[in-house]
Structure 1
Amino acid sequence: MSALPAKRFTEVMEEGEFFQKKDMVGKLSKDYYWYSPVLAEELKEKSADFVIRPKSIASLKAGLTAAVKEKLPVTIRGAGTGNYGQAVPLHGGLLVDMSELNRMMEVGEGFVRVQAGMKIRELERKLVPTNQELTIYPSTFAKATMGGFIAGGSGGIGSITWGNLWDGNVLEATVLTMEEEVRELNVTGEELKNYIHSYGVNGILVDVTIPVKPKTSWSQYILNFSDFFQAMSFARELSESPGKKRLVTVFEREIGDFFLPLRNELKDCGDLVFIEKAEENEKHMLELAQQYGGVFIYQKEAELYRKGLGISDFTWNHTTLWAMKTDPAWTYLQNFFSLENVESQIKTVKEKYGGEVLLHFEWIMDKGRLVPAALPLIKFTSKERLYEIITFLNDIGAGTNDPHTYLLGAGGWDLQLQAIVEKKKENDPHGLLNQGKIPNFETV
């Protein structure tokens, strides 16, 4: 890389906004791709050449304009908590760290508008005086930024009630284009789908408006079951029942051994259900659990919510992290099991793979329908074996969203991806944004 791009950035950026120290640039060029042993190998040497950390939208636009003039690849970063290499530059160039663009811009009844670099936990704190709260957020909410979640995530805690990002959980966004003259787009309605979970390939999210709901008093529970199918049946009926819910998670019994901070509560336990539910709905849940043989072994009252570790810190992809702390050979998949056939699918998986695949379900709403979404733990031995398991799960109807590729769309090509590509042609005519993340037909 020549010295010319560096000189151009030092001319247009404010003091403390441009960085080229190798150690710092290398660190900011990584995300949590190492959850995947496949990506850990493929992405370990990848790095940007420069970093900018703009403190204003004007500085961001100046940096983008300079990158266009130099025809530099540009990768946008939130907090780097993604698991698929979304924020890892494949071809060097410029990395844009959005962490200084972190203001809450406007809040009203039922909505809040924030800059993309705002951390989700900080936003939650700022919502406290309004007596409102977020609809959905990832298990990494203490570190993750709102822009990063929308551009690189999909669902999380709260999805049992409010669905995924596409289910009305983004109301509006401001997007910058990657052109000689940077345009500022106001995006609403169906057009938002072109920027949700698009890895920043077709525009730069600078602020977003999301829905918020009246604050609820959430209690946390862990239930023990002697039979996995009883645990799943209870979780399904609870998910389908009225009442406010934020989390309904089911774990095969072996997974509880990974949760070291809960080792006293989970000692000698069977299959587990983790729940966050409005405290006023407790009576119905107790009665339902009794019908399915569930025993309450842990409860954290609503007044202790957010004080110390919560049970959501062990769910979603934090489950994988706890497993990897015990044995780095564990990794994971993302699957949509069938609501109608989930029991037979589970039996088929366990008969085929036994303890090589440990089942973990997050019950969610997706496009208005209840789905037993799974993040099973996989004992990794080889890439070939991993993809054998993926093929098997796909063949039995438990479709896989592959977390072991950095390609947008998990290596597939669907209508939404085609729309994202068309929008990229408009907004990024030189093809500079997050290069290498869009699959081509030959790759598929």
Structure 2
Amino acid sequence: MPTPGFVALSETLLQELRAIVGDDHFVIDDSGLSTLSKDFYWYSPVLRDRLEDRLAAAAVRVTTIDQLRAVVALAATARVPLTMRGAATGNYGQSVPLYGGLIVDLSGMDRIIDLSEGVVTAEPGARLATIENQARPLGWELRCYPSTWVKSTIAGFVSGGSGGIGSISHGGLREPGTIKRFKIMTIEEEPRILTLDETETMRVFHAYGTNGIIVEVQLRLAPAYPWQQLVIASTNWDPLLDFAAEIAGDATVRKRLVSVMENPIGSFFKPIKKFYPADHHLIFFEVDESSADAVAARAEAAGLSVPHRIPYHYPRKPPMLSDYTWNHTTLWALKADPAWTYLQSGFGANYREQFQLLHAKFPGEILFHLEFTRGNPKMGGASPTVACGGIPLVHFKSEERLKEIIEYCTSIGVFTANPHTCYIEEGGRDQGYDVQLELKHEADPHNLLNPGKMKQAPTPRFAVPGSMPHFLFS
């Protein structure tokens, strides 16, 4: 049964859409729609409960900007909601249609338009792994990328991501200069292309695909280095944490990853458990090969073990330690026990004290998975330029308990970007929100693009009472 506010598509509109994309790229069967209406929202038991029954009325796969323009023009004229989809590796329901309507799969618009002089220009569906692998022989690499890099698209990353592997050296996507340009399509009867350069790109960044359809992305790259992967292990948490912070803050060590996992998180990583002893806390490093021997020697001098090292190799292939970091850590925990979920946290300079307080307050409910990054204004840090953030695992008991944990985090100075809501305003990332809302009015005057995810946008005309999910955290 359709959810409240579900927008169906007329038979005439369906036939017009089929004529634009062809039979092979037109989806209306229940199985296909179920697949294309989902992303990784089920990382959150709260979102799983609220979004499970949300489905589109139809879906199309576009491969050219002309097809996209024709589809958007039809949808705008008919006033039907549109939800964009790439690889759908997001975790907040960004690709889940709240009001039915039409899913537009952009993964077929995947050309790398240009890759030169330290800049990649690509269509929205270009895969990050493809970009990384094509850039590296030219002497370049992505500044940061998510643990889902093999599947993730460039537009999906900038629409819902914030940082990842590489952020220890280059910061997140919000770092000035990383995103160079967006081209977006408006949702109008005669769609226009708007170009947003440099700081203007923040009007679209991390907007969940609500205020313009990204049709082209330019990202600046970083010089490529031969990264060696190291596993550091210890049964003693404090010296392991101290060492992670020491290397994270050491500017003489070039690095791409500093990820810390509290025991027993390592036991969840079945494919790589042979690389380290059981019942140990772990650090996963990626460091420049020129620094790897010195880092390993420093770890051993600190009383830590170095049970495994993976030399640099190209093309990159498993095992990759980074495939068990960032939010892939949560995925492996869910495979081990579906009761695990997660938070997205920024700790202060007193993060050791904060860890102790959280363990004492919620014994057995929180496991610390930390990601050290280049400084973030919402966090403190191990040094003026290094922040201790992370994606701690939380053993889910109830929504009320989850809310209690988030509220306690706030009370002790731990910033939380709440991943248990599909609304931009409730996710903790409010920097530049006013200009995002302003662009929504300009680029999507009928409020058709991913409606409902930007709560302060005008209420869609097809909305009815009860059509928007309610969250306890609101």
Common fold: TM-score over 0.5? yes
The one-letter code sitting in structure 1 at the alignment partner of 2:399 is K
Match of 1:204 in 2: 213
Relative to structure 1, the CA distance from residue 121 to residue 304 in structure 2 (aligned partners, 3 Å threshold; closer, same or farther) is closer
> Which of 56, 61, 65 is equivalent to 1:57?
65
CA positional deviation for 1:173: 1.3
CA positional deviation for 1:246: 0.7
> Which of 195, 202, 205 is equivalent to 1:186?
195
Counterparts of residues 364-443 of structure 1 (less than 5 Å): 364-367=373-376, 369-411=385-427, 414=430, 416-440=432-456
Range 17-26 or range 6-15, more displaced? 6-15
- Determine the C-alpha separation between the residues in 2 that align with 1:342 and 1:203: 38
Relative to structure 1, the CA distance from residue 257 to residue 204 in structure 2 (aligned partners, 3 Å threshold; closer, same or farther) is same
1:85-109 superposed Cα distances (whole Å, 9 cap, x missing partner) = 0110000001110011001101112
The one-letter code sitting in structure 1 at the alignment partner of 2:329 is T
Counterparts of residues 216-365 of structure 1 (less than 5 Å): 216-241=225-250, 242-303=252-313, 306-338=316-348, 340-365=349-374
The one-letter code sitting in structure 1 at the alignment partner of 2:118 is G
Match of 1:37 in 2: 45
- Determine the C-alpha separation between the residues in 1 that align with 2:444 and 2:347: 37
CA positional deviation for 1:190: 1.2
The one-letter code sitting in structure 2 at the alignment partner of 1:102 is D
Residues 1:126 and 2:134 are matched in the alignment? yes
Counterparts of residues 167-182 of structure 1 (less than 5 Å): 167=175, 168-182=177-191
Relative to structure 1, the CA distance from residue 398 to residue 183 in structure 2 (aligned partners, 3 Å threshold; closer, same or farther) is same
Range 294-303 or range 83-92, more displaced? 294-303
TM-score (ref. length: structure 2): 0.90
The one-letter code sitting in structure 1 at the alignment partner of 2:113 is M
The one-letter code sitting in structure 2 at the alignment partner of 1:143 is K
1:187-227 superposed Cα distances (whole Å, 9 cap, x missing partner) = 11211001111111100011111112222111000101232
- Determine the C-alpha separation between the residues in 2 that align with 1:200 and 1:342: 33
The one-letter code sitting in structure 2 at the alignment partner of 1:408 is I
- Determine the C-alpha separation between the residues in 2 that align with 1:124 and 1:422: 34
CA positional deviation for 1:270: 2.0
Identical pairs, percent: 38
- Determine the C-alpha separation between the residues in 1 that align with 2:255 and 2:428: 33
Other structure's SS at 1:409 match:
helix
CA positional deviation for 1:39: 0.6
Other structure's SS at 1:253 match:
coil
CA positional deviation for 1:31: 0.2
Q: Which consecutive residues of structure 2, in runs of 5 or more, have no partner in the other structure?
A: 1-7, 378-384, 458-469
CA positional deviation for 1:230: 1.5
The one-letter code sitting in structure 2 at the alignment partner of 1:251 is M
The one-letter code sitting in structure 2 at the alignment partner of 1:9 is L
Aligned length: 443
The one-letter code sitting in structure 2 at the alignment partner of 1:40 is R
- Determine the C-alpha separation between the residues in 2 that align with 1:400 and 1:313: 23
Relative to structure 1, the CA distance from residue 411 to residue 208 in structure 2 (aligned partners, 3 Å threshold; closer, same or farther) is closer
CA positional deviation for 1:413: 7.9
Judge conservation of contact 1:37–1:331 (CA < 8 Å) in 2.
Answer: yes
- Determine the C-alpha separation between the residues in 2 that align with 1:393 and 1:323: 22
CA positional deviation for 1:304: 6.7
Other structure's SS at 1:141 match:
coil
Match of 1:80 in 2: 88
CA positional deviation for 1:15: 5.1
CA positional deviation for 1:412: 5.4
CA positional deviation for 1:367: 4.6
Range 407-416 or range 322-331, more displaced? 407-416
> Which of 108, 112, 124 is equivalent to 1:100?
108
Judge conservation of contact 2:82–2:103 (CA < 8 Å) in 1.
Answer: yes
Other structure's SS at 1:200 match:
coil
Judge conservation of contact 1:257–1:266 (CA < 8 Å) in 2.
Answer: no
Q: Which consecutive residues of structure 1, in runs of 5 or more, have no partner in the other structure?
A: none
The one-letter code sitting in structure 1 at the alignment partner of 2:55 is S
1:368-388 superposed Cα distances (whole Å, 9 cap, x missing partner) = 831111111111111111111
Judge conservation of contact 2:77–2:188 (CA < 8 Å) in 1.
Answer: no
- Determine the C-alpha separation between the residues in 2 that align with 1:260 and 1:12: 46
CA positional deviation for 1:291: 4.5
CA positional deviation for 1:55: 1.5
CA positional deviation for 1:425: 0.4
Other structure's SS at 1:52 match:
strand
- Determine the C-alpha separation between the residues in 1 that align with 2:290 and 2:54: 50
Range 342-351 or range 129-138, more displaced? 129-138
Match of 2:381 in 1: none
- Determine the C-alpha separation between the residues in 2 that align with 1:151 and 1:183: 20
Judge conservation of contact 1:72–1:432 (CA < 8 Å) in 2.
Answer: yes
CA positional deviation for 1:411: 4.7
CA positional deviation for 1:21: 2.0
Judge conservation of contact 1:50–1:94 (CA < 8 Å) in 2.
Answer: yes
TM-score (ref. length: structure 1): 0.96
Judge conservation of contact 1:19–1:52 (CA < 8 Å) in 2.
Answer: yes
Judge conservation of contact 2:144–2:164 (CA < 8 Å) in 1.
Answer: yes
- Determine the C-alpha separation between the residues in 2 that align with 1:421 and 1:26: 30
